[in-house]
Amino acid sequence: MARISAREKLLDAARDVVRAQGFSATSVDELCAAAGVTKGAFFHHFASKEALGAAAADHWSETTGALFASAPYHAPSDPLERVFAYIDFRAGLIAGDLAEFTCLVGTMVQEAYRTSDAIRTACANSIFGHAKTLEADIAAAIELYGAPAGVTAESLARFTQSALQGGFILAKAAGNDAPAREAVAHLRRYFELIFQPGRKGDAP
């Protein structure tokens, strides 16, 4: 029976509680209670609350990275199909409670971008690192099918994350997941229009 370390339990608790309440509004005591560990354990593993925040962002990068790496959207042989499969996979993740499908690092970086460079950097690595995993497929799709002038794979990959993060904010405001689903649908249509056959003004 593999026992879960206090560190792991705190990281998992941080993921859940921070997505529901935000980082600043969550106290160390609350985190410990949610994780079922003591304050001593907290400060044994993390030098400060800020360090826990940065570690939680790194942990998020690792767990979501593994989820996306093993996801089925990499299967199609056509790169453009893989991109659409990615978008559809993201749409499928939008289900259940808001705090379950929204983004930890998107939430944290809004609160801490100016007050904690450690957290800001860890969140930036998570978001832009994930965007980077899409670049190869998008670049191959552009190579194969062409794209309007000025469209680059890097920029397009980043925009997928902008659309998603923005959808999450509107979903939180609305109190339901509809705006997030809607944002993904528009994102998909944007890609369909960019790569539609017979679009004028560019060549593969």
Partner DNA sequence: GCACACATACCGACTGGTTGGTATGTGACA
Partner DNA sequence: TGTCACATACCAACCAGTCGGTATGTGTGC
Contact set with a copy of itself (CB under 8 A)? 20-25, 98-99, 105-107, 109-115, 120, 123-124, 127-128, 148, 150-151, 155-156, 158-159, 161-167, 169-170, 172-175, 179, 182-183, 185-186, 189-190, 193-194, 196, 198-200
Instruction: Give Dmax (Cα) for the chain.
Output: 64
Answer yes or no whether residue 176 interacts with DNA by CB under 7 A. no
- Cα-only R_g, the chain: 19
Q: Which residue has the tokens 């996306």?
A: 68
Minimum distance from residue 23 beta carbon to DNA (Å): 9
Q: Which is nearer to a copy of itself, 7 or 160 (CB)?
A: 160
Could you tell which of a copy of itself, DNA, none binds residue 113, using a CB distance below 5 to 8 A set by kind? a copy of itself
Answer yes or no whether residue 115 interacts with DNA by CB under 7 A. no
Q: Which is nearer to a copy of itself, 144 or 174 (CB)?
A: 174
Q: 155 — alpha (psi -120 to 50), left (phi > 0) or beta?
A: alpha
8 A C-beta contact, residue 93 and residue 101: yes
Could you tell which of a copy of itself, DNA, none binds residue 71, using a CB distance below 5 to 8 A set by kind? none
What gap in Å lies between CA 167 and CA 98, rounded to an integer?
A: 11
Q: Which residues of 139-164 are buried (b: 16+ CB within 10 A; e: fewer)?
A: bbbbeebbbeeeeebeebbbebbebb
Answer yes or no whether residue 7 interacts with DNA by CB under 7 A. yes
Question: Which residue from 15, 20, 49, 110 is in contact with DNA, where contact means CB under 7 A?
Answer: 49
Minimum distance from residue 158 beta carbon to a copy of itself (Å): 6
8 A C-beta contact, residue 27 and residue 14: no
Query: How distant is the alpha carbon of residue 38 from its chain centre?
Result: 30
Answer yes or no whether residue 41 interacts with DNA by CB under 7 A. yes
Tokens representing residue 161 in the block:
């994350």
Minimum distance from residue 190 beta carbon to a copy of itself (Å): 5
Q: 22 — alpha (psi -120 to 50), left (phi > 0) or beta?
A: left
Answer yes or no whether residue 90 interacts with DNA by CB under 7 A. no
Answer yes or no whether residue 14 interacts with DNA by CB under 7 A. no
Give me the residues that bind DNA (CB under 7 A), please. 5-7, 26-30, 37-41, 43-45, 47-50
